[in-house]
Amino acid sequence: MSTIFSTAANLHPMFSLVTKSLSTRNIFSHTYPEKSYRTLHQIGSLSIPSWSLKSRSRHCVKSLLSDVHGQDKFSSVGARSTGPIAPNHLIEVVKTAAQTGAQVVMDAVNKPRNITYKGLTDLVTETDKMSEAAILEVVKKNFDDHLILGEEGGIIGDAASDYLWCIDPLDGTTNFTHGYPSFAVSVGVLYRGNPAAAAVVEFVGGPFCWNTRTFSATAGGGAFCNGQRIQVSATNQVERSLLVTGFGYDHDDAWATNIELFKEFTDISRGVRRLGAAAVDMCHVALGIVEAYWEYRLKPWDMAAGVLIVEEAGGAVSRMDGGEFCVFDRSVLVSNGALHAKLLERIGPATEKLKSKGIDFALWYKPKDYRADV
């Protein structure tokens, strides 16, 4: 199968985009039947499958990959469909919601901030809350029976819904507070646990010259920036790559491990950036201006939109140990695909070492009774 894909890709460079719309779930399972779901993590009242630790110890990170048209392919994170809601209708509501929140942010961007703290350095502003309220109004007006997970407001709505909206009303609040790009409004909607539609409104420019650009994607429908199709870069050498990472507020073992990864990749690449807004970082991978982004300890609202936009732009998504990713995971690596295995050669073992120390990498909080194919 890999030979067929590679030959077709050589005949026509757009073939790689076409193959992206095909489900890689079946390709993955047929290629690597050793993938195990025997270990279960308990979240609330639900048992959630994850990689078997025994299987993980027997097979190196590279064994998680399959060679498709010359790139290492990972299992798709996107939903197989948008369900009973038409894709064009769903994405229009998602974009409207994100742009409505972004207008709230734009109205406040050059004004004094009213800041409170969720932790020693973890900020929240009135703008975060007002943006989320504006987004919720759009979602409820169109889909009042959907479940919503907002960074500021928590869980709202019907847990029996197949749809879960993951909302970050202001990703990069610290940057916003200082008037420093990058920050964004991120809205992703899951269908049965997998991203179905996404929009990220990024603020670009700076004080007195702020502007925005809107990234969007639907599962199987491609990724766009301001309505134009985008694609990840073709760079296949780490030494020719610009990379991005992020650091959480807790200076724990995972933070220290990522400091070491930051140092190592800085030595062998064109550089590693730390912008401070996960959704923006992933959109930059999708746009092809950086090659990869990774981070520990993110939340669903940080990732739900960005991972779909990267995948639909032709990129790859996995956990930082190389395992199959879902938005309730505690780590993410997104890349242009061509570099994914090379990055995992260092990121994977570092993450496994953290797991051996007892660091919790079980799935993060998932709403109780929410039906999810993950």
Mark the binding-site residues for Mg(2+), compressed into ranges.
151, 168, 170-171, 302
Copy the structure tokens of residue 251: 């200076």
Q: Alpha-carbon distance 68 to 27, whole Å?
A: 9
Tokens standing for 373?
A: 């194919």
Kind plus residue range of the DSSP H or E element containing 136: helix 126-142
Secondary structure class of 275 (helix, strand, coil)? coil
Q: What is the residue-wise DSSP string for 279-315?
A: HHHHHHHHHTSSSEEEEES--HHHHHHHHHHHHHTT-
Paired strand residues for 213 = 202
Cβ(80)–Cβ(219) under 8 Å?
A: yes
CA-to-CA distance for 324 and 247, rounded, in angstroms? 22
Query: Where do we find the tokens 């060679």?
Result: 67
Residues with Cβ within 8 Å of 251's Cβ and at least 6 positions away in sequence, in order, are none
Q: Binding site: residue ranges?
A: 151, 168, 170-171, 302
CB-CB contact of 259 with 253 (8 Å): no
Whole-number Cα distances in Å, 148 to 13, 45, 85, 140: 39, 19, 16, 9
Residue pair 280/202 in contact (Cβ under 8 Å)? The answer is yes
